[in-house]
Amino acid sequence: MAAGEIDPVAAEKEASRREDEALVARAQAGDSAAFDSLVVKHSPKLYAQMYHMTSNHDDANDMLQDVWMKVYRNIKGFRGKSAFSTWLHSIAANTAINFVQKRGRRWTMSLDDVDNGISNDKEFAELTTQSTPVRDADLSEMQRKINEAMMKLTPEHRAVVTMFDIQGMSHGEIAEILKISEGTVRSRLFYAHKQLQGWLGEFAPNPTP
């Protein structure tokens, strides 16, 4: 990118941050419509964070409602030291980690519907055109195996994988949300990837003859 050129991603983030600031100020003054706007805006990303931590829709729904009620109770105390989305995802991450730790290994998977858009996904197309077991595997079966592998990770490692690999957050953002150093984020990712590579080895492409 040329010097002086505006990064569209950064500009979009900045606009979103300003919009959040205005909505939070209104919500703090008791404007319920502004609070609803925050719920509508951030829930899809929060839901994904909750769902990928549990692989269960009902658990994700319960946790998401809990997170919004915590925000509702504490929004007046939010001083804006960090971005609202960072504060929000921090509450969500802690809620999810505590939930999974309390629940222990007892979990049931309830797979959410795979969006039809997956067939148009470039990476999915690449995976299936190669001579790989992904092509032969049933989509829901593959989904189940990925989720099972995710559930084998510790909650802390799962949170990092969810935010980095699935939600596309940066190391810095994750460090701020989880209140850990970027180095810790990187080491957790490295360790989690090593484990997942072993558990999902069956989806590795067949060696070319």
Partner 1 sequence: MADKQLNEKQLQALLRLKRYEQPPPGYFNDLLAGIHERQREEMLRRPAWRIAVERVKTFFQSMRVDWRYAGTMAGILLTGVGIIQIAMPKQRPSAIATSNPALNAQPVAAHSTPPQPVLTLNVQDQKLLPPLQRVVVPARSGTQPAPQFVGGGLPASYEATQIRF
By the criterion CB under 8 A, which residues form the site for partner 1?
29-30, 36, 39-40, 43-44, 47-48, 51-52, 57, 60-61, 64-65, 68-69, 72-73, 111-115, 117-118, 121, 123-124, 126-127, 134, 142-143, 146-147, 150, 161, 165-166, 193, 196-198, 200-205
By the 10 Å C-beta count (0-12 exposed, 13-18 middle, 19+ buried), 53 is classed as buried
Report how far apart, in Å, the C-alpha atoms of 182 and of each of 107, 112, 133 are: 30, 31, 35
Min dist CB 127 to partner 1, Å, is 6
Residue with smaller CB distance to partner 1, 10 or 40: 40
- Residue 5 or residue 123: which is nearer to partner 1 going by CB? 123
Residue with structure tokens 């939070």? 24
Distance CA(180)–CA(209), nearest Å, equals 45
Q: Alpha-carbon distance 105 to 109, whole Å?
A: 12
Contact 52, 150 (CB under 8 A): yes
* CB 72 to partner 1: min, Å: 6
Closest CB to partner 1 among 48 and 97? 48
Closest approach of Cβ 2 to partner 1, in Å?
A: 29
DSSP calls for 63-82? HHHHHHHHHHHHGGG---SS
Q: Give the shortest CB-145-to-partner 1 separation in angstroms.
A: 10
- Closest approach of Cβ 61 to partner 1, in Å? 7
Q: What are the structure tokens assigned to 66, written together?
A: 């809990």
Residue (115 or 138) nearer to partner 1, CB: 115
